[in-house]
Amino acid sequence: MRIDVIAALPDIVRGPIQHSIVGRAQEKGAVAIEVHDLRDYAEGKHRQIDDYPFGGGAGMVLKPEPIFACLDAVADAHGDPDEVIFLTPDGQPFDQPMANELSMVDHLVLLAGHYKGVDQRVRDERVTREVSIGDYVLSGGELPALVLIDAVARLQPGVLGDTSSALTDSFQDGLLDAPVYTRPAEYRGLTVPAVLRSGNHAAIAEWRDTHRIEKTRRRRPDLLTD
């Protein structure tokens, strides 16, 4: 899988993708990520990427030309992407089913805006999907792009050590995860539930199911209703 990130502040994205699972996914060749600096595609002495909004109002708007130019350069180098995703608080809410769906796509472009937003013509002409990571406003799309990359990269075949691990995550079947414990079996008088140490796999599976349903009912009853 290939992911091109187009960002107003590319260094925010470049650091985190070198670490942990996303870093390992790249080392293993499961995902290739390239981060493009929007300013490299801007014209003029000042390489300006944003400008004042027509009609007035607060905040700057990302200009269309550098974004169109960068998208064209990505397409020339690597072919037309399957999706161009714009990260924005007014997009479709990101969730596990969307992560699963996007993980099966060969080539994604993530457009991370900053400032007030991007010129609507980019959204109308080039963006195939608009995605929000939650009902709050961040200063830019760079952190949301990282969230999407992490959720998608860890689903690539061979990336997680234990292949069943991604499938047992919270949300993967619409339920939250059961509590987990590790050694020591007793710490400061706090013990691990005996069933988890019993070696009885059927009993362990039943304990986990019970706790997943109970936790979901308590914390996220909305997940059980639909």
Q: Of 132 and 156, which CB lies nearer to ligand ADE in the complex structure?
A: 132
Residues paired with residue 71 on neighbouring β-strands, in sequence order = none
Return the number of the residue (33 or 131) whose C-beta is nearest ligand ADE. 131
For ligand ADE, the binding residue among 8, 84, 141, 151 (CB under 6 A) is 141
Q: Does 81 engage in binding with ligand ADE (CB under 6 A)? A: no
Q: Binding ligand ADE by CB under 6 A: which of 3, 109, 133, 160?
A: 133
In whole angstroms, how close is the CB of 140 to ligand ADE at the nearest point? Answer: 6
Torsion sign, CA atoms 113, 115, 116, 122: negative
For the CB of residue 21, give the shortest distance to ligand ADE in the complex, in Å: 21
Strand partners, 107: 2
Question: CA-to-CA distance for 3 and 110, rounded, in angstroms?
Answer: 7
Q: Determine the interface stretch with ligand ADE among 54-62, 135-143, 204-212, 218-226 (rule: CB under 6 A).
A: 135-143
Contact between residue 89 and residue 117 where contact means Cβ atoms under 8 Å apart: no
- Give yes or no for residue 137 binding ligand ADE (CB under 6 A): yes
- Which residues does 142 contact at the CB level (< 8 Å), separation at least 6? 7, 8, 9, 10, 12, 13, 112, 114
Closest separation in Å from C-beta 171 to ligand ADE: 18
How many H-runs (helices) and E-runs (strands) does the chain carry?
A: 8, 10
- Minimum CB distance to ligand ADE smaller for 137 or for 190: 137
Closer residue to ligand ADE (CB): 127 or 178: 127
Rounded CA gap, 130 and 138, in Å? 15
Number of residues that bind ligand ADE (CB under 6 A): 11
Residue 93 in contact with ligand ADE, rule: CB under 6 A: no
CB of 5 to ligand ADE, least distance (A): 13
Q: How far is CA 208 from CA 14, 117, 221, in A?
A: 38, 44, 18
87 lies in the binding site for ligand ADE (CB under 6 A): yes
Q: Binder to ligand ADE among 89, 116, 169, 220 (CB under 6 A)?
A: 89
Given the complex with ligand ADE, which of 89 and 192 has the nearer CB atom? 89
Name which of 159, 2, 5 is nearest 67 in CA terms: 5
Which residues fall within 8 angstroms of residue 154, CB to CB, at 6 or more apart? 21, 22, 25, 160, 166
Return residues touching ligand ADE (CB under 6 A). 87-89, 132-134, 136-138, 141, 144
